[in-house]
Amino acid sequence: MSNIERYSWGHTRRFNSYTEHIRKTFGGRMQKVVVDAGFTCPNRDGTKSFGGCTYCDNNAFNPSYCNPVEPLHSQIAQGITFHRVRYRKATKYLVYFQPYSNTYAPLAKLKSLYEEALGYPGVVGLVIGTRPDCIDDEKLDYLSELSRKFYIQVEYGVESCYDKTLDRINRQHDFALSEQVIIKTHQSGIKTGAHFIFGLPGESEEMMLSCAGIISKLPLDSVKFHQLQIVKGTKMEQEFNNTDFHQFTLEGYIEFIVKFVERLNPAIVIERFSGEVPPRFMVAETGHAPPVPVGWDLIRYDAVLRLIEKELELQDTWQGKYYT
């Protein structure tokens, strides 16, 4: 049996790859263009809490061209120009509303922003990053309408399957809410994604592996996984201690990801296995947290992905091998 016959996703890579999924969906290369529309979060503005999630500094993952002071159309134009240098084959774009909670506003404001983005030449859809507590039926109905004409994906920051963890990192919502909202979004016909972090305080590797079964039961179209990175200036930097955090070395993380992927529902598309933070945001040895764990220094995501795929091949394993 060939690999393409073995795997249900219809290509030869050993996991259900977002790149291949998008190529199949659009018939070619598509690129996300990140924009910052100036949103905030309910646990930053005092509605629920102040200070945000303990690990979070949105500036650590915003592209250089992404600036909320700039008009939306200007950010899109700069983003397309930026990506054309590296991805010359890309002719279609998804506008990615990424920083903070991008449904945390009245519907009228959301309509204005989303429809401006969708009207830009070459834009075929939206990816909207938000929190499970920043969506409602009215917004889902509107996004459901848009999804009949455009590629619309809502990406929820879930981060952990465990309420104790969510409470500790100041998420201000429980996992049950994430489950409910993911199901509602899926039922509305909207592509549904979720983001999870591995290595949050208080979670053992066994706890994290158990999340594969929990995630697999959710009607998710796609997932993103990131290793925890301790960023300068965050509350998590101040509270770090070596006994309570599971800090993955690069080698250890690859071993963990392979085990996790083997248990994951093969129908779920994987967008990312790990995250990148610019070196200037990482904690130095003089901080409360340790230096960057072994193996992660300056390594780019493409290199991490190659190592994961190599390990999947060496072990002759694949996404969903042990999924039931």
Q: In 10 A of CB 28, how many CB atoms?
A: 12
Instruction: Indicate if the pLDDT at residue 277 is higher than 90.
Output: no
- Predicted confidence (pLDDT) per residue in 195-233, tens digit: 999 999 999 999 999 999 999 999 999 999 999 988 887
251-271 mean pLDDT:
98
- Predicted confidence (pLDDT) per residue in 41-54, tens digit: 998 888 888 888 87
Give the chain's length. 324
Instruction: State the SS3 of 101-148.
Output: CCCCCCHHHHHHHHHHHHCCCCEEEEEEEECHHHCCHHHHHHHHHHCC
Residue with token string 């979060």: 41
Higher pLDDT among residues 280 and 114, named by residue: 114
Instruction: Indicate if the pLDDT at residue 87 is higher than 80.
Output: no
Query: Residue ranges per domain, the chain?
Result: 3-314
Instruction: Indicate if the pLDDT at residue 60 is higher than 60.
Output: no
- Predicted confidence (pLDDT) per residue in 138-185, tens digit: 999 999 999 999 999 999 999 999 999 999 998 999 999 999 999 999
310-317 mean pLDDT:
98
Higher pLDDT among residues 66 and 135, named by residue: 135
35-46 mean pLDDT:
92
Q: Can you give the pLDDT at residue 286?
A: 46
Q: Which residues does 178 contact at the CB level (< 8 Å), separation at least 6? A: 132, 156, 158, 194
3-314, which class in CATH?
alpha beta
